[in-house]
Structure 1
Amino acid sequence: MHDVSGEPQAVPAAHDEGQHHPIGLYLKVWGWLFVLSAMSYAVDYFQVQGITRWTLIIVFMLLKAGLIVSIFMHMAWERLSLIYAILVPPLVLLVLVRIMIVESNYTFWTRAIFFGGGG
């Protein structure tokens, strides 16, 4: 192959197709998944209660899911457009759920005020 100036360009070898990642990366991710799972288990073991319990469980769950999707499903090495195609719809759904929660609270309190508390 030659570029516009007539100089030869390097042609990628056929055996370079695909992605190769070091096994150490996967071992580190497995280690992090183990640590995050142990921390999630510790929340139950130490009987953390209330909003702190659910916040910790959800944070650990999202961190583990993020590691799995980014490394084991190779999302970290995909093009940005594919990442947006996968991540944006769930984020939009979360925004819509939040809007519905705000609207339901407004409706509930409007009815409570108008009908005198429902009782």
Structure 2
Amino acid sequence: MAQTRASKEQGHSIKLYLVTWILLFVLSACSYLVDYFQLQSELRWSLILLLMFLKAGLIVAVFMHMAWEHLTLIYAVLLPPLVLFVFVGIMVHESGYTLATRQISFALGQ
């Protein structure tokens, strides 16, 4: 009985790690294909960022064992960068207004 309990507590199966490596390889190949097909503008950067976040999330979830942690720890690790990302988005949105205000102000010579 003690041996079965110890074998269950040893860790995750090799299959999980092999599937994770294969998924990372596929996502990396997709990143390469974005450059190979010479996609341009917002589509290129959107795909690159999406694939980057997917790979990072997969690495954090499986190799850093975040998928098996308590929900509060997951929130403590993932929520601050998400809030920061929202704030950066707000600043990017506001930058157009600030640029327009400065251009008007400089054009009027104030």
**Percent identity of paired positions between Structure 1 and Structure 2:** 60
Residue segments in structure 2 that go unaligned for 5+ positions in a row: none
Aligned residue pair count? 106
Amino acid at match of 1:71: V
Specify the alignment match of 1:107 in structure 2: 98
Specify the alignment match of 2:17 in structure 1: 26
Choose the corresponding residue for 2:87, options 83, 96, 105: 96
The alpha-carbon deviation at position 74 of structure 1 amounts to: 0.4
The alpha-carbon deviation at position 117 of structure 1 amounts to: 7.2
Cα pair distance change 1:109/1:24, threshold 3 Å: same
Q: Secondary structure at the match of 1:21?
A: coil
1:67 aligns with 2:38: no
The alpha-carbon deviation at position 59 of structure 1 amounts to: 0.9
The alpha-carbon deviation at position 15 of structure 1 amounts to: 4.0
Provide the rounded CA distance (Å) in 2 between the counterparts of 1:36 and 1:117: 51
Cα pair distance change 1:88/1:18, threshold 3 Å: farther
Larger proportion of helix = 2
Provide the rounded CA distance (Å) in 1 between the counterparts of 2:102 and 2:10: 59
- Quote the RMSD (CA, aligned, Å): 2.3
Cα pair distance change 1:19/1:62, threshold 3 Å: farther
Cα pair distance change 1:14/1:53, threshold 3 Å: same
| TM-score, normalised via structure 2 length | 0.83
| TM-score, normalised via structure 1 length | 0.77
